Amino acid sequence: MTSPAPAALHAARIHPTALVEDGAQLGINVEVGPFCHVGPQVQLGDNVRLMSHVVIQGCTTIGEGTVVFPNAVLGCAPQNIHYKGEDTELIIGRSCTIREGVTMHPGMPDFGGKTTVGDHSIFLAYSHVAHDCHVGSNVILSNNVMLAGHVTIGDRVIMGGGAAVHQFVRIGHHAFIGGLAAVNNDVIPYGMLNGNPGILMGLNIIGMQRSGFSKSDIHEVRRAFKAIFNPTTPIRENIARVREQTDNNAAVVDIIAFIDAESERALSSPARGQRG
């Protein structure tokens, strides 16, 4: 029996019921399962797997090793009344897991035209990433998480089921968002937010420990957190004092830089309605 040619071993495997339109670019060892539809501007990296009934449209790029479960819809037109069919992009990184019914939309032309997702992130069933969102790497969006347009999510953020994020909100890296939380304002790196409306409950200590923070570093961040959100004085004054006292702790520096950055939204705090 003749062995298959090397090229055949690495060719894309496309189920007879799938539709891959002319122009789509498929890497080696790509698998397109039953009843999938891949549009003409789509690029699938090596070893991408589309299980079944997956729809991928528009200028969508999916990085190598990403697995997409049934009924996910990626790259279709943004849910925005101002979208007029422009060629904007959805870019998904490497080794992501996109579960059943997940939806992700490309950007809008007036805001850079890109929605981006980093590497090794997990999107559980029916979570939604709207236009112009920028999601980092090693992020977990649990079932039914909803990101409105223009949301920015840092690396290693975990969001509990049913959480909803307002337009233009920033969530800093290593933050934890509780299930069913309403995230109306920015959440600092390492922050833990719960409730509706969302209240900053403290720090994501478990996440910091898993990321290798020492006890002394965690204690220093805790002290800075209490000082920054001291309710007796304005946050800006508190930050100035913390900046003078910190010994270049990287996590504290990140938190201060996050608060100092320009933003469309106010800052989530331990006091409901308190603003920076």
Strand pairing of 55-56 and 73-74?
parallel
Strand pairing of 191-194 and 199-203?
antiparallel
Contacts of 189 (CB under 8 A, 6+ apart): 154, 172, 173, 174, 175, 251, 254, 255, 258
Beta-strand ranges (E) seen in 27-95 are 31-32, 37-38, 43-44, 49-50, 55-56, 59-62, 67-68, 73-74, 89-92
CB 270 within 8 A of CB 177: no
Catalytic residue, candidates 75, 93, 107, 132: 132
Residue matched to tokens 């479960």: 69
Q: In whole angstroms, give the CA distance from residue 40 to residue 48.
A: 17
Tokens coding 174: 């290593």
Catalytic residue, candidates 45, 118, 149, 191: 149
Closest CA to 63 of 112, 120, 9, 115: 120
CB 192 within 8 A of CB 202: yes
**Active-site annotation holds for 132:** yes
Catalytic residue, candidates 105, 120, 128, 131: 131
Closest CA to 25 of 54, 62, 51, 53: 62
Counting every residue written for the chain, the total comes to: 276
**Active-site annotation holds for 149:** yes
Exposed, middle or buried: residue 247 (CB in 10 Å: 0-12, 13-18, 19+)? exposed
What are the catalytic residues? 131-132, 149
